[in-house]
Structure 1
């Protein structure tokens, strides 16, 4: 074996099984933490020279918070995050269609949504990894998925690494997915593009909200550090770019929407606006594993952001995978159990996100008026009618305990910022 392979084997030891995670995003880092906690030696291979997450926020719903609780990280996440209190859904004019509250969320989902910057979450996850397990600036390619009688092989510029388990967490354009299932259709354009940015909070007070307009969506969410995470989507042809700047494009499309949207656009620097076409995997995989390799996150089930579940489902995947592939157990059976647990749930969420995206991006004025009227009417009949539509996603529990979100501990934690769980130690 070459030098890289020897180093990996030395790290793993003679008896401890070795897992290689390809991709240092939220799902890959969470998987590495979970696998390490269950007894695996782990190596995370990230192509980028450094982990510098894009300048955007991420909302963690109660389902992913419970998964992080299993790893001892839930309390730390909630302490770093802004808790979503009163908020809701607005029309383009600013009229409230649905008002929600933290109390309703606690009662319906067993917890509240929390919002934090992606960089904050990534830093926390990296701090929980075993030392020297993260290798950045490392291109990795799966060359052999392995089998019961042989280890998997990952090629790097420094040589090949053999692994008892490989986790493909390399995102929507996953090369690991292509290697495992070369004939499977690739992700397709969802019909809309997205913008994201983070700016200082405006002087005027505002209530967190998502706004559904004609052919587009706007979201305004506060972060704990005094900044605001804003996101927008619009139905546009694939591959387009603004002729001047993406800030100017936001001004053209959203500057006449309700406050605080115009002020947020005015505050952002043009170079800080991120734009990405949205793609999703509309043809589901039959399984998320083959040989000694498992897929998770966008590599397995890329979805539209309409339900805010992309990162949340990656975190769920990671914790469920670690649960089913305990060292010393039957790996093939564990990977099959992982697929059996994750494929039906994530396939359903991908489809629900696609349906939600179609509703939020209606372009015809009559249809938009009907949509808004129906939502407003449903809200007046009972706010929980709207929230209950999301409850089958947010009330998920991991297969292992303990977790604080969804218990009285989770509610108390809002004021104390603590639970009885200790963080994972390196």
Structure 2
């Protein structure tokens, strides 16, 4: 039988009624002739509660025990989903990560998937099981300990199963009905996309779009897993949601597919850094070791052997960056006059594979921001995206202006 993977996020399984609603969607796919692998998250809010219990019990916790606790939320959901399906006369069985087994590295709380042997689940399908309900977000290390994959790990679990079982498709059920040209909460002109390429979705996810976890999109692109994002709370059909697929499958030809934003950014500037070979490595090496996620980087023109170096990072990593650079300075690895931090900025980006073959995208973007009197602090580009750092107070205005400038409300 063809295999379909269906993933339900925390809001989709937040209580028994919502689990029942999700189970009806699974039942419908079984009736269409699929064997189904269902990946479930913990009930909405449950993982945060479990994490808070761990922190309250042991602030300097053992990461192995942390994983043992926080993975339990998905186990509860998987069992309840299997029971609900059984009540609907659907042969279903729940699976924890170690029972599959979903094999991972030993990096507790941030484990990476290394393999998913098919034997156990395939055997149960052959014996008449129609639905395998798998606890997302978790696996087993080479040492035999439970591991977790990090926040958003259930999306990654779903894509990995779709790849391992050659699934026809991986459906991600969430609280939105697809991928939009931008956040509908910012502009009511936002339009749901019927399809979007893996590359565009990966850029949007990494630039602030919250619908799909970045690692899951990377995995889908690597293994050519067709993803469909759709709502748990609406009636669905074959054209519902947004399909994330290969560029060759796209029907739309918009130059820009979406506008993304990241609100919680900071701009940091090292003033009067010595300009010498290796200075960039001396600055960004300690930042990397401290776990600071550096994004945009700008180096000014050198004057009398000194320069200014500016970079952006998440606002909650400013103190970490400040400490790392202060330590490097005290060791004499780098010399600078002062470190300035601007925590009132945001990043706004336009993304589209059409940028490869169309000139003038940057000019149109910059004109739109100029017309709204929005000053650009930093610019970075790639083959299919342009990002700017601006004052946070203008973020929503910038998103609206760019959405209008590229006429994203119109289908091509």
Q: TM-score, normalised by structure 1?
A: 0.21
Q: TM-score, normalised by structure 2?
A: 0.22
Bigger Rg, structure 1 or 2:
2
**Greater RCO, CA 8 A, separation 6+:** 1
